Amino acid sequence: MATLWSETNPYLGAPKGDTDFARITDNVARVAEAAKPPMGWYIAFAIALTMLTGFGASLAWVSWTGIGAWGNMHPVAWGFPIVNFVFWVGIGHAGTLISAILFLLRQTWRTAINRFAEAMTIFAVICAGVFPGVHIGRPWMPYYMFPIPNQMNMWPQFRSPLEWDIFAVGTYFTISLLFWFMGMIPDFATLRDRATTTPRRLIYGIVAMGWRGSSRQWHRYERAYLLLAALATPLVLSVHSVVSFDFATSQAPGWHTTIFPPYFVAGAIFGGFAMVVTLAVPARQFFGLKRLIEIRHLELMNKVILATGMMVGYAYGMEFFIAWYSGNPYEVFVFVNRAFGPYAWAYWTMIACNVLIPQLHWFQKVRTNVWCTLAIGVVINVGMWFERFVIICTSMSRDFMPANWGYFVPSTIDYLTLGGSFGLFFTLFLLFCRFLPMVAIAEVKGAHRDAHANHGGHGGHDHSHAPETA
């Protein structure tokens, strides 16, 4: 693969500079500085933009005609839009987990992927954030959900978990954005300093916010980073817990379950990591970042995936057990119906993707193989989407009173919206790859062995670093 793009890809040449630090800087910065990205980027961007257009078109159509353009029906009042919402919120988990929790746990391997994952988080939460706004019947008035003082004396109803969502997702997005942006400030300064044209200097200069790299600045930066990490850590747990409350606090069989908050969080980390590897593998391949995002990093992520996948599998099993143990006939029915009813295909897709296939990661050969990593990452993403589909659609399609039962069939517009949301995600992600430092230059350096040259043999920081050229 290394030669695939070599003729057109300026990144695949030998990096300039002699020292490792310089190589790191050059490796990352030249991606953002190149006059022209590789052809692959254009192709990918064209595809993503087309999908984004589909997203815009589908949402415009839905706003114009009514959300009946989707397949949502009675009793499945929440169809694809909410499935997509929960899916994207879940994806948005890995970023903050990697940046905040792993940071606090001093897992320095995270530096190779944290920027990446944070960006992914931001974009995933943007994708997620679109859905609650557009899925409502009157998409021109989602602001009714915000506590805005108004002449009508209307106020949100704070007992509603949807209202909690607004705050949970809003807070999460704000903190993630700040965290991401703040982490990029030293790198923006690097780009500014390396800039060869005035517009680049200006733009990177503005976003670098006057960074000079003084000790004082570094000191404050690291304090602030630590504080934000501490602030973000509970959010990783809270946001998907709150999203799960939408279901857990309701009465519907299959939703009304206390296991949901931890189950959703585990699932979110699982899905989020799967998305990180899905993105990291091609990115390191195309942008020549193999020396920064190493196989070792992928393997570590695969281990996290394996662990969280087991938790998710446990949750699936426990749901069944508790349903049976509760003796509640409606609850029992929902689970039997999931596995053996009309939506069994979705259920078994979910089980295969989320529980069975990730077991391959027990084998080191599999988890250190980039293609297996990528393939399993994609499979898990599919599986996690189906998990939300199974939870939302199968539970609603057959609830308490049989007279209401129905079978949800998505419309073409549903697929267009779902695909389109990936378009939005990838468009943003490709723009990020093109214009922003994809790897946290300063942090990688901090974790690099050269940064610890004076601490020979101290710690266990990344001493096994070895260039890898597979």
| Residue with Cβ nearer other proteins (254 or 437) | 254
Q: Phi and psi of 167, rounded to 5°?
A: -75, -40
Residue type, 322: I
- Smallest gap, in angstroms, from Cβ of residue 333 to other proteins? 4
- Smallest gap, in angstroms, from Cβ of residue 332 to other proteins? 9
- Smallest gap, in angstroms, from Cβ of residue 396 to other proteins? 6
Distance CA 299, CA 64 (A): 47
- Smallest gap, in angstroms, from Cβ of residue 87 to other proteins? 18
Helix ranges restricted to H, 76-149 = 80-91, 93-96, 102-104, 114-134
| Residue with Cβ nearer other proteins (77 or 375) | 77
| Residue with Cβ nearer other proteins (238 or 249) | 249
Distance CA 173, CA 249 (A): 23
Residue 45's closest CA among 286, 293, 371? 286
Give residue 209's region: left, alpha or beta (phi > 0; psi -120 to 50): left
Distance CA 418, CA 426 (A): 13
Supply the DSSP symbol for 138: S
| Residue with Cβ nearer other proteins (138 or 223) | 138
Contact by Cβ (8 Å): 125, 172: yes
- Smallest gap, in angstroms, from Cβ of residue 140 to other proteins? 9
- Smallest gap, in angstroms, from Cβ of residue 206 to other proteins? 38
- Smallest gap, in angstroms, from Cβ of residue 421 to other proteins? 19
| Residue with Cβ nearer other proteins (71 or 95) | 71
Quote the radius of gyration of the chain (alpha carbons, Å).
23
Give residue 461's region: left, alpha or beta (phi > 0; psi -120 to 50): beta
In three-state secondary structure terms, 179 is: helix
| Residue with Cβ nearer other proteins (405 or 415) | 405
- Smallest gap, in angstroms, from Cβ of residue 257 to other proteins? 14
- Smallest gap, in angstroms, from Cβ of residue 113 to other proteins? 36
Distance CA 229, CA 296 (A): 24
In three-state secondary structure terms, 261 is: helix
- Smallest gap, in angstroms, from Cβ of residue 123 to other proteins? 24
| Residue with Cβ nearer other proteins (292 or 396) | 396
| Residue with Cβ nearer other proteins (42 or 407) | 407
| Residue with Cβ nearer other proteins (287 or 347) | 347
Would you tell me how many other CB atoms lie within 10 Å of the CB of residue 34?
A: 15
Supply the DSSP symbol for 392: I
Residue 116's closest CA among 210, 187, 218, 217? 187
| Residue with Cβ nearer other proteins (100 or 351) | 351
Would you tell me how many other CB atoms lie within 10 Å of the CB of residue 50?
A: 14
| Residue with Cβ nearer other proteins (160 or 171) | 160
Contact by Cβ (8 Å): 79, 395: no
How distant, in Å, are the alpha carbons of 31, 62, 81, 177, 367 from that of 114? 17, 36, 29, 13, 20
- Smallest gap, in angstroms, from Cβ of residue 61 to other proteins? 9
Q: Phi and psi of 79, rounded to 5°?
A: -110, -130
Q: Which residues does 369 contact at the CB level (< 8 Å), separation at least 6?
A: none
- Smallest gap, in angstroms, from Cβ of residue 400 to other proteins? 5
DSSP for 405-429 reads -------HHHHHHHHHHHHHHHHHH
| Residue with Cβ nearer other proteins (137 or 459) | 137
Which residues sit at the interface with other proteins, rule CB under 8 A? Answer: 64-69, 71-78, 135-139, 141-142, 144-145, 154-157, 159-163, 166, 246, 249-252, 329-330, 333, 336-337, 340-342, 396, 398-406, 409
